[in-house]
Each structure stands twice: as C-alpha cells, then as structure tokens.
Amino acid sequence: MIDSEYVSPETLKEWEREYRNKCRREMTRYLKDFPDATPDEIRDLRRWVRSGHSPYENGDFISTESGGPMDFIRARRFLEDEYQEYLKDPVGYHGKPDDTSVSEGPNWGSAPDPGV
C-alpha cells in the first residue's frame, strides 16, 4: 500500500488519469463481447466507467457463481430480470436461491424449529 502523504498530488493525478484511460480501453474491448448491448446499457456503462470504474465490476456487488465480481452489463441484466420476476408476484417473490441444487424453496412463512 502506498501512503498518499508521501506521494505528490501531481503523481496521484497522473495515476488516476492512467487508471481512467485503462478503464476506457477495457470498455472498448468489453463492448466487443456485447454486440447486443442496448443504447441504455451502453450509456449506463459509459457513466460507470467515466466515474472511475472497470466494466468488469458492478456497483451492486453482484458476484458470479465462482465468487468474482459480475461484469457491468450482465449484472444490469440480472437485476432487470429479477425486477421483472418481482413485478409478476410481489408478495410471493423470494429471489433466486443461492444454491440451485435445493429442490424446495425456503419456507419463508414458517416459524423457526423450536428444537434448534
């Protein structure tokens, strides 16, 4: 870790500029993987990258099955899909289970087992 007390403000600005340029280059490569990206997705991605973030991360801390951060467009699509599912049945909506091997969903309405 670098102690910013010992780094000049000019050096910090240069590092920030380099990082933002790196993120812009990443975005250009990243968008090649999403030829079906909508104008809204591209607009939101550009805002995200302009604010100093990588396109390979998301602001909602959504992770992939392997535990790493989900990229921006996939996370955005995931949230949109979840929202559409919620709109179908707001009262009965429980989200997708973390463990897809579970055959039964959680019984949200039941009281905890008193023997526990």
pTM over 0.75: no
Lowest mean pLDDT among 13-17, 76-80, 108-112: 108-112
Q: Is 99 among the domain residues?
A: no
Q: Is 98 among the domain residues?
A: no
Q: Is 51 among the domain residues?
A: yes
Mean pLDDT for the chain overall: 82
Number of domains in the chain: 1
Q: Is 100 among the domain residues?
A: no
For 79-88, the pLDDT digits (tens) are: 999 999 889 9
Q: Is 21 among the domain residues?
A: yes
Instruction: Residue 77: give the domain boundaries.
Output: 7-88
C-alpha distances in angstroms, 17 versus 13, 34, 42, 51? 6, 26, 22, 12
Q: Is 30 among the domain residues?
A: yes
pLDDT of 111 reads: 41
